[in-house]
Structures are given as C-alpha cells and as structure tokens.
Amino acid sequence: MNRALLTFAFVVSIFATTSASADVRLVGSGASFPFPLYAAWFQDFSKKTPGVTVDYQSKGSGAGINDFTNQIVAFAGSDAAMSDEQIDKVKNGVVLLPMTAGEIVVAYNLQGIEELRLPRDIYSDIFLGKIERWNDPRIAAANEGADLPDLPITVVVRSDSSGTTFNFTNHLAAINPEFESGPGTGTTVQWPRSNRFVRAPKNDGVTATIVQTPGAIGYIEYGFAKLTNTPTALLENKAGNFVPAGTAGGSAALATAEFDEHMRAFVTDPEGEEPYPIVTFTWLLFNETGQDAQTVDAIKQMIEYGLTDGQEMAEDLGYVPLPDVVVEKVRVKMDRIQ
C-alpha cells in the first residue's frame, strides 16, 4: 500500500474512533428524590464532556429498578438501594454507589404558621391517622402561642413505588412500634383507610398536592421543599431536640452510617444531639459487566463528575454533600464496573 493510501486509512481510522466516542448516550431512570440535583449534574456533565450525553427520567425508585433489571436503561437511581433478592436478578451483576444524600422533611400548608414543632410521637401518629385536626391538644401543647386552625389534617402520601416512602416508613417504624406492626415498611405500604389520606406520584406530585391543599401535610425530599418554598416542620430527634432540615443536621446524621459490602447504609434514627432525624443516601445502580469500553469510560467519567463538581452543587439544591470518606469508598467501588 502506498503512502497516500496509508495516510487515508489512518485518517479514516481516527474518524471512525472519534465518531464512535462521540455517540455515547447514557439513559437512566428511577428515584425522584434526587432528580433536581441529577438534572443539574447531567446537563452540566453533558455540556462539559464532548461525545457523551446523559438522560435521566424521574419515575420512582421501584420503576427505575425494574427498568434496570430488564436492561431497558444503562443505569438507575434508587433511594432504597436494592435488596439481596433484587440484586440476584440482575443478569450482569450490579454495583451500587451512594452518590448524594438528603433529608426527608414533613412539609405542611398552614397559613400564618411559620414555625411548626412536631414531636416524634405526634408526627408518627399523624401518619397513622390517629390525629385528625390541626388544633388537636397534643399539637397545640408542642406549639405554645401558635394560632393553629380548626382544620382537618389531609395526609399526602406516595401513590407509586418509592424509595422516599421506604426511608420514611423505616424511620416511623423505628420510633413507633404501632407503625411497624401497622402500615409497616417498604417502597409501598398500606396507609390507613381514610378519606383524609390522599395519594400523589413522585416527590413533585406530593409537593404540588401539599401546596394546593390547605391543611395538608406530607413527606418529601428537602430539595423539593426548598425549591418551592414549602414550609417544613422542625422534627424531634432521638435526643429530644427539635431540628430543622439543613446541611448541619444532615451531615451529623450521615456520620453515624455504616456500609455493608454493597455500599448500603440506612440511618433510620440517628443518635446524638445534632442529627436531623430522617436522612438517607440515594444510590446510582450500574451493571458490573457486559458493557463496551466506551460506555464504561463514559460511566466512570460521569461518576467522577458527581463526586467532584456534583458535590459542590448539592447544598444549594437542598442535598447533603457526601463525607470525604464516603467519596473515597465510592471511587474504589466504581472500579468494579467493567
């Protein structure tokens, strides 16, 4: 082959390689809990990373795990991580990586009530349907001087399979044995049969329902409350202190977490004076094997972005940045993605 043909073949080879690397599209689905943060991450990452685009659909943790298991998406998001049984169903193995953390808040719609304190026994009983009106003597006693209205309490819960529900119900079960033996825990539970309980899909659906319903209360991710200026209650922690949602209380709670071999850790009722009582990691799920080299490279670039630039966005959007020790554990674990 002459020099001109060799040069042409070399140029074609480079062009083919460049074209292939410019065609990596990572599609994911799952948890709505981290969606405001993920949306910002993936847009910025796609903009800064030539040849790679990331699309993520917020549809709930349960739906994301199903999509991932059925190989419909390249990755998924889940606030409930995955159970051992779910992990066993993944054909190419799975790597679970906690990528951010957040707080589940109890949001409410009470005109004129800027600060609401809810003791542990009261907010768990509200979600058991045992406290029906806002001027109930128990709520009034915890909020001396507040002009609580004579309104029915409308309880807004998730209608879909949800990691937010998983973490919220695990906390309620940890602090109230009656909740554990009643509705129980899981991504879906049997809430009390009452016309005061209203169901809505995803965190944004619950948030919108609370905002539109005077007297409503519900559980959502703190970022959604922050973005919509929805009031949230100060919740009593295990030490008896009333703690607002925010980075300080969330970081104190995460410091108590212990991970298993799958990087799962659930903080159901943290010890100490400072922790906010309902905090959770949220995970991205990836196949361990079965992907081409370009896809693996793009995935690892995306993960590294989330661990660096992404963490710097977390607090402004209402999430809790990962502790440095967790970031390093994630870096080690992502090497299993092949």
pLDDT for 70 beyond 50: yes
Distances (CA, A) of 292 to 74, 282, 295, 338: 12, 26, 5, 8
Statement to judge: residues 63 and 203 lie in one domain: no
Structure letter (DSSP) for residue 80: S
Q: How sure is the predictor about 1, in pLDDT bands with cuts at 50, 70 and 90?
A: very low
Statement to judge: residues 113 and 233 lie in one domain: yes
Phi, psi of 280 (to 5 degrees): -150, 145
On whether residue 176 sits in a domain, the answer given is yes
Structure letter (DSSP) for residue 26: E
On whether residue 283 sits in a domain, the answer given is yes
Statement to judge: residues 111 and 83 lie in one domain: no
On whether residue 18 sits in a domain, the answer given is no
On whether residue 64 sits in a domain, the answer given is yes
* Cα–Cα distance for residue pair 289/93, rounded to 1 Å: 7
| Tokens 């970031």, located at residue | 327
Domain termination residue (choose one: 203, 238, 254): 254
Statement to judge: residues 42 and 139 lie in one domain: no
31, 282 contact by CB (below 8 A): yes
pLDDT at 256: 84
Structure letter (DSSP) for residue 182: T
Statement to judge: residues 86 and 116 lie in one domain: no
Statement to judge: residues 46 and 183 lie in one domain: no
Statement to judge: residues 109 and 96 lie in one domain: no
Distances (CA, A) of 48 to 43, 286, 317: 9, 22, 20
pLDDT for 13 beyond 90: no
pLDDT at 48: 96
pLDDT for 8 beyond 90: no
Phi, psi of 103 (to 5 degrees): -110, 140
pLDDT at 2: 43
pLDDT digits 0-9 by tens, 89-108 = 999 999 999 999 999 999 99
On whether residue 12 sits in a domain, the answer given is no
Nearest to 232 by CA among 114, 134, 123: 114
Domain termination residue (choose one: 202, 220, 254): 254
Statement to judge: residues 87 and 112 lie in one domain: no
pLDDT for 17 beyond 70: no
The domain of 30 spans 25-101+278-334
pLDDT, averaged across the chain? 92
Domain termination residue (choose one: 219, 254, 289): 254
* Cα–Cα distance for residue pair 289/272, rounded to 1 Å: 41
Residue 21 tokens read as 């690397």
pLDDT for 132 beyond 60: yes
pLDDT digits 0-9 by tens, 204-258 = 999 999 999 999 999 999 999 999 999 999 999 999 999 999 989 999 998 888 9
pLDDT at 16: 37
CATH number of the domain encompassing residue 300: 3.40.190.10
261, 271 contact by CB (below 8 A): no
pLDDT for 121 beyond 90: yes
Average pLDDT over residues 273-286: 96
Statement to judge: residues 108 and 97 lie in one domain: no
Statement to judge: residues 123 and 197 lie in one domain: yes
On whether residue 189 sits in a domain, the answer given is yes
Average pLDDT over residues 174-193: 97
**H or E element: which one contains 218?**
strand 216-221
H-only helix segments in the chain? 3-21, 35-48, 61-69, 84-88, 120-126, 137-142, 163-175, 177-181, 202-212, 222-228, 247-254, 293-307, 309-314, 324-334
Statement to judge: residues 135 and 189 lie in one domain: yes
Encoded amino acid at 185, one letter: T
The number of domains in the chain is: 2
Residue 20 tokens read as 């292939």
On whether residue 183 sits in a domain, the answer given is yes
* Cα–Cα distance for residue pair 98/77, rounded to 1 Å: 10
Statement to judge: residues 209 and 240 lie in one domain: yes
pLDDT at 14: 33
On whether residue 152 sits in a domain, the answer given is yes
Encoded amino acid at 31, one letter: A
Q: Report pTM.
A: 0.87
Q: How sure is the predictor about 23, in pLDDT bands with cuts at 50, 70 and 90?
A: confident
pLDDT digits 0-9 by tens, 286-323 = 999 999 999 999 999 999 999 999 999 999 999 999 99
Nearest to 118 by CA among 151, 145, 140: 140
